[in-house]
Structure 1
Amino acid sequence: MADIEDQASDKGQGEEVSRQDLPLLSAVIPNYNHGAVIGEAIEALAAQVPSPDEIIVVDDGSTDDSVLVLERLKLAYPPLRIVKFETNKGAIHAMNRGLQEAQGRYVYFGGADDVTRPGLFAAMVAELERHPQAAFASCEAILLDLDTGRVASRPPVRPSYGPRFFDSAQVAKLLRRVDNWILTGTAVVRRELMIRAGGFDPMLGAFADSFVFRRLSLQYGCCFVPQDGVLWRTNSDGLSRSSVANFDAAMITLNRALERMRADQVFPKWYPAVFERRWRFAIGRIAAEARPMNRAMLIGLERGQVSRVVLGSAASMGGRFGRFAALIWLTLQERPVFLPGLLRTSLSRLPRFASRAPFQQEN
């Protein structure tokens, strides 16, 4: 992260004076072997209003035809810039390089296999212009599981039912009740503040984006808009699931993130325990939804002998009932959601689900 911090110090006060003259918006996309789908992501970004002044794709040493695809796309989309790594360095390094390259006042970090929905940038930029004290603005996402065809909305609990700015104290109050309403893949962030924060910490792996965006929200406040902004396509080979395939390594990274939070005065003292519960549940859900269920990972999440027996029995049962039993137990054990908020959010989304076209047709 030193190079990002050096970049911030080199610009110093001059950036404060001239930032209004900078391009408005940069989109950063890390890519590794997504040549088959990245064209759809680029097309959706270019169709946004306002469209990004630059779309920076950092190719992370792809071994497929990604670079050839990107070179062809550049002919059709002049704002596209391609940064190539000769070897694979990982998504976090790619995003940090994109942040270094970005020139916009605002930056969006997306996925090469995700598709932005119409109106995302218009809504996020409008909120940031309306609330100049906010570090970022985020919204909702539609999750499409390519393995099962299941469609779901995220976050499971909305922090508000209309566009709203939350100051740092309000963010802390919300995070105590429900932790996972900040969706980093839908967020547009102030580049200056992201650089000042040091970008994404490679030592935190899959927790790097969660860490820095929560820190920014607790330090400056943030905005939320209750509208669909991104179609997330997930599968068993995706980053979120593959990052916890090695349970021991995932827990080491989690503990590293918790240590950073405990040592950082921006995070309330109670917050690491909330974050840990939510991520333990997320890991457990991935284990329960695996085919077959990941017994070792589930048992690794036990909190005592009774928990070990219940999770082990659910894994042995397998199938729909085993998954249901495991998820119910993990919900009771980790308390990842605010149940009244979950019910209200679910009810509020019913009209939107009824009007949506099936996303399977888009792929």
Structure 2
Amino acid sequence: MVQLAEVNVAWRSPLSPSISVVIPAYNANKFIVRALASIESQTLTPDEVIVVDDGSTDHTALQVAEFARHSKLALVLERQPNRGSSAARNHGIRRAAGELITFLDADDLIYPGFLECTVSGLTRFPNWAACFSDRDVVDADGKFISHDLDHPMFRQIVKKVMGGSFFELEDGDLFSHMIAGSVIPMTITCRKSRIDEVGGFDETLLFNEDRLFFLQLIKKKGKLGYFNESLGVWQRHAANKTSASNAINAIKYSDVILQKLMADKDSLDLSPAEIDGVQAAQRRLATQWIYAASRARSRSTIALGRRFLVERRITMGCFLKAIGRYLISSPKS
């Protein structure tokens, strides 16, 4: 750990909760300064900013150190061998002293009012475990594409109007949608006490780790709220685009998440309807997985098909169609 700067925090009420910002960073040389600058521009200054360098092979750490030389932020650089974003976030959580933790990925940024709005939401609604906002989705050149929350899955979630552009997501409805896929952006402010209740992020997951975290948080009766305006930016670029191999890995880890939910169904107190929902998601995922594997000409296609037939997660017709597609050409992997 390297202590980089002392804090220069604008005046806040003594009753205001303390805030730590945690940024996992891996080879983020091109983006980290932009992320840090967006934190420095906040109307509510955090008590500390913790950057966890996850074994970067570029100049990420040097960029952080250089930024700290002229920054008003209380900036801390933590370094660890490359273990993934879950481990990096957990490292930051353990180091954090704040009552609230804001997570920000190194290639994202937040607009000046993000901390003020999300902290305000958590202060106004003590039963909320976390508060997030909408984000602008932009391309590699910074051109606006869409709003992050403007997609069918999020629109279908039941929401409760709380006033002042704040909304609360309904728990049961949210769980059913989160089984199918994550709808919560990882640019979010959480109560540290609620993070500790679920044990942080599962470090065995290299994809979709935030999805399991939020599912566990929901089942711990953690209410989630959001501010219905764009207060951040998610930029799509070459480093975070989904390749065919990454798509298969994402499906694989989604399946692991569903297996974990079933293994922990008693401790999570899953209802019969929720268990049915998880099992239905497992069947849908099996179909997606074997078709994705066959399109990628993966040698795993036949083994996956046999496994899913035994588990009764696909039909014989689905199996034969996938195998036929796979056999058209020689496998690449």
Q: TM-score with structure 2 length normalisation?
A: 0.71
Cα gap change, 1:48 to 1:303, in 2 (>3 Å): farther
Structure ranking higher in strand proportion: 2
Percent identity between the two aligned chains: 22
Contact (CA 8 Å) 2:208, 2:253: kept in 1 or not?
A: no
Partner Cα distance (1:140, 1:274) in 2:
27
- Displacement of 1:313 in angstroms is 9.8
* Aligned positions of 1:26-37 closer than 5 A: 26-37=20-31
- Displacement of 1:121 in angstroms is 1.7
Q: Please, which of 56, 79, 99 is the counterpart of residue 50 of structure 2?
A: 56
SS for the counterpart of 1:262 is coil
More deviation in 293-302 or 255-264?
293-302
SS for the counterpart of 1:92 is helix
Please provide the CA RMSD for this pair.
4.0
Which residue does the alignment assign to 2:10? Answer: none
- Displacement of 1:90 in angstroms is 1.4
- Displacement of 1:103 in angstroms is 1.1
Contact (CA 8 Å) 1:204, 1:256: kept in 2 or not?
A: no
- Displacement of 1:238 in angstroms is 2.6
Structure ranking higher in helix proportion: 1
SS for the counterpart of 1:204 is coil
Contact (CA 8 Å) 2:262, 2:278: kept in 1 or not?
A: no
Q: CA deviation digits over 1:119-152, x for unaligned, max 9?
A: 22222111111111111112223333549x7823
Contact (CA 8 Å) 1:295, 1:312: kept in 2 or not?
A: no
Cα gap change, 1:272 to 1:224, in 2 (>3 Å): farther
Contact (CA 8 Å) 1:144, 1:232: kept in 2 or not?
A: yes
* Aligned positions of 1:151-170 closer than 5 A: 151-155=145-149, 156=151, 157-158=154-155, 159=157, 160=159, 162-166=165-169, 170=170
AA in 1 matched with 2:268: Q
Partner Cα distance (2:250, 2:194) in 1:
33
SS for the counterpart of 1:200 is coil
* Aligned positions of 1:33-112 closer than 5 A: 33-77=27-71, 78-85=73-80, 87-112=81-106
SS for the counterpart of 1:108 is strand
- Displacement of 1:200 in angstroms is 0.9
Cα gap change, 1:200 to 1:269, in 2 (>3 Å): farther
| Paired residues, number | 290
Partner Cα distance (1:266, 1:74) in 2:
46
Consecutive unaligned residues of structure 1, counting only runs of 5 or more, are 1-19, 317-363
Consecutive unaligned residues of structure 2, counting only runs of 5 or more, are 1-13, 306-312, 328-333
Contact (CA 8 Å) 2:212, 2:257: kept in 1 or not?
A: no
Q: CA deviation digits over 1:70-120, x for unaligned, max 9?
A: 1101112232110112x2121111100100111111101111111113322
Contact (CA 8 Å) 1:22, 1:105: kept in 2 or not?
A: no
- Displacement of 1:216 in angstroms is 1.9
Q: CA deviation digits over 1:294-346, x for unaligned, max 9?
A: 46599979943555677899999xxxxxxxxxxxxxxxxxxxxxxxxxxxxxx
Which residue does the alignment assign to 1:259? Answer: 262
SS for the counterpart of 1:136 is strand
Cα gap change, 1:306 to 1:247, in 2 (>3 Å): farther
Partner Cα distance (1:272, 1:46) in 2:
44
Partner Cα distance (1:249, 1:28) in 2:
27
Which residue does the alignment assign to 1:233? Answer: 235
Contact (CA 8 Å) 1:111, 1:185: kept in 2 or not?
A: yes
- Displacement of 1:221 in angstroms is 1.6
SS for the counterpart of 1:58 is strand
- Displacement of 1:205 in angstroms is 3.5
Partner Cα distance (2:124, 2:296) in 1:
46
Contact (CA 8 Å) 1:136, 1:187: kept in 2 or not?
A: yes
